[in-house]
């Protein structure tokens, strides 16, 4: 009696694993091979107006527009999670009327930027990507106005810390606007 219960339980467990495999394997296969969705006309326009630069062998999407004549102000926009630079599309034109340059990027793993798998994403790496973009655009000595949202707030705070510590490659801040970040700010400066 005991032997047949064990045999039945073993058979049921084997059948259970077979069923799990029959369900999970195709789901994983589908997940790994899903083609990207078709882009709307608005997203296609956003993409075609942008460009890419390389950071440690990864493609990073960014948009850089020249705007207001007579102004030397540059604004850099950092998006939130789980979105992209497209978050800024509705205020892009008004910003371009105010600032000489308006710049936004898609963080690594977001939007049109590369999404390496497996990869250990970090705020520190995202901050280094922002610094690399600023250098790539020749703006390392330019005072920047930074506007960030959500996840971008955390990246902005890391950039602010690097600036406060006079780290190599740090940004020169003119202003910083954090929105909806859920962060606690400590006093920066003396």
Three-state secondary structure of the chain: CHHHHHHHHHHHHHHHHHHHHHHHHHHHHHHHCCCCCCCCHHHHHHHHCCEEEEECCEEEEEEEEECCCCCCCEEEEECCCCCCHHHHHHHHHHHHHHCCEEEEECCCCCCCCCCCCCCCCCHHHHHHHHHHHHHHCCCCCCEEEEEEECHHHHHHHHHHHHHHCCCCCCCEEEEEEEECCCCCCCCCCC
Tell whether the model's pLDDT for residue 146 goes beyond 50: yes
Give 33 or 179, the one with higher predicted confidence. 179
Give 123 or 67, the one with higher predicted confidence. 123
Q: Is the domain 41-179 a CATH 3.40.50.1820 member?
A: yes
> What are the extents of the domains in the chain?
1-34, 41-179
Q: What percent of the chain has pLDDT over 90?
A: 62
In this prediction, residue 165 has a pLDDT band, given cuts at 50, 70 and 90, of confident
Region 49-70: mean pLDDT is 94
């Amino acid at each position: 009696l005991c032997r047949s219960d064990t045999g039945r339980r073993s058979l049921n467990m084997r059948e259970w694993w077979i069923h799990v495999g029959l369900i999970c394997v195709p789901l994983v296969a589908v997940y790994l091979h899903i083609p990207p969705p078709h882009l709307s006309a608005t997203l296609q326009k956003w993409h075609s107006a942008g460009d890419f630069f390389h950071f440690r062998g990864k493609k990073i999407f960014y948009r850089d527009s020249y705007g207001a004549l007579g102004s030397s102000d540059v604004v850099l926009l950092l998006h939130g999670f789980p979105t992209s630079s497209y978050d800024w599309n509705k205020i892009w034109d008004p910003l371009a009327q105010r600032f000489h340059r308006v710049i936004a990027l898609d963080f690594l793993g977001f939007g049109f930027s590369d999404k390496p798998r497996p990869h250990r994403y970090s705020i520190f790496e995202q901050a280094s990507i922002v610094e690399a973009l600023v250098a790539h655009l020749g703006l390392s000595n330019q005072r920047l106005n930074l506007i960030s949202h959500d996840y971008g707030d955390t990246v902005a705070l890391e950039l602010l810390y690097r600036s406060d510590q006079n780290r190599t490659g740090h940004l020169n801040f003119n202003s910083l606007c954090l929105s909806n970040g859920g962060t606690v700010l400590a006093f920066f400066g003396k």
